[in-house]
Structure 1
Amino acid sequence: MSSARTVITFGTFDVFHVGHLRVLERAAELGDRLVVGVSSDALNLRKKEREPVFSERERMAIIAALKPVDEVFLEESLEQKREYVEKFRADVLVMGDDWKGRFDHLSDVCEVVYLPRTPAISTTALIEKISNIG
């Protein structure tokens, strides 16, 4: 009897769009259980130099409500990826291919998979487009 495979992925998931949904669906297909780390507001500010449109609480609620997602937690630091992988006993770490190579050092504790991003969909571009409408 094989044990269940846990997949872990991370993201800000601000201004949720179909690209986010597709990456979560594809990540879920790689295992039996999908755990998602949602970047904290503070981490998002450090990483993208802007505050998210939706609060970490709101973004976590959106992700938790999705069918492919089994568990959600708050990601406080990019440097803690190894601890998160170990804490949730993840067999697979899934990241977008914009992070390609950045987490290969974790291949000693899990399989590392970089998924292609959905073409022509970007949260940053969406936010810029929306802010230019007014």
Structure 2
Amino acid sequence: MPRTVITFGTFDVFHVGHLRVIERAAAQGDRLVVGVSSDALNLSKKGREPVFSQSERIEIVSALKPVDEVFVEESLELKRHYIEQYAADVLVMGDDWAGRFDEFGDVCEVVYLPRTPAISTTALIEKISATG
């Protein structure tokens, strides 16, 4: 039986850390579904608009080989709904979220992957802004 993996992220200013988490998430199963945070969700979550629009971020993530399907994540409160909607067997998140999604262990396996060290979208944006 094929295993469906689901993961979520903003994926703004796409960098190698994003690619690695997607590749490692895909390795957890046979099919990878990615929820890309909506512009509104990103604004409420991080207090700023993403550099790249929702449609651009979806286009970038959709083009990646390991990704089978992409959808817009409208709300953090809908994670359980998304897991069930896409019949996910595994939820993969970065370890900066460790423990935050354990409640979904009743509907799927929950895996937290270590983040790529020293790579942060926020830090990249700040560096670009400082040199711009």
Normalising by the residue count of structure 2, what TM-score does the alignment of the two structures yield? 1.00
Segments of structure 1 that go 5 or more residues without pairing to the other structure are none
Matched ranges for 1:77-88 at <5 A: 77-88=75-86
Quote the RMSD (CA, aligned, Å): 0.3
2:97 to 73, 96, 99: 99
Aligned residues with identical type, % of pairs: 80
Structure 2 counterpart of 1:117, one-letter code = R
Matched ranges for 1:14-93 at <5 A: 14-93=12-91
Aligned length: 132
Q: Distance in 2 between matches of 1:84 and 1:77?
A: 10
Q: Distance in 2 between matches of 1:126 and 1:16?
A: 10
In the alignment, what sits opposite 2:3? 5
Q: Distance in 1 between matches of 2:79 and 2:12?
A: 20
Deviation at 1:96, TM superposition (A): 0.5
Q: What's the secondary structure of 1:51's corresponding residue?
A: coil
1:127 aligns with 2:125: yes
Q: Distance in 2 between matches of 1:53 and 1:105?
A: 32
Normalising by the residue count of structure 1, what TM-score does the alignment of the two structures yield? 0.98
Deviation at 1:66, TM superposition (A): 0.1
Deviation at 1:106, TM superposition (A): 0.2
Structure 1 counterpart of 2:123, one-letter code = A
Segments of structure 2 that go 5 or more residues without pairing to the other structure are none
1:115 to 110, 113, 116: 113
Q: Distance in 1 between matches of 2:7 and 2:51?
A: 21
For 1:40-68, what per-residue CA distance to the aligned partner results, in whole angstroms no more than 9, with x for missing partners? Answer: 00000000000000000000000000000
Deviation at 1:83, TM superposition (A): 0.2
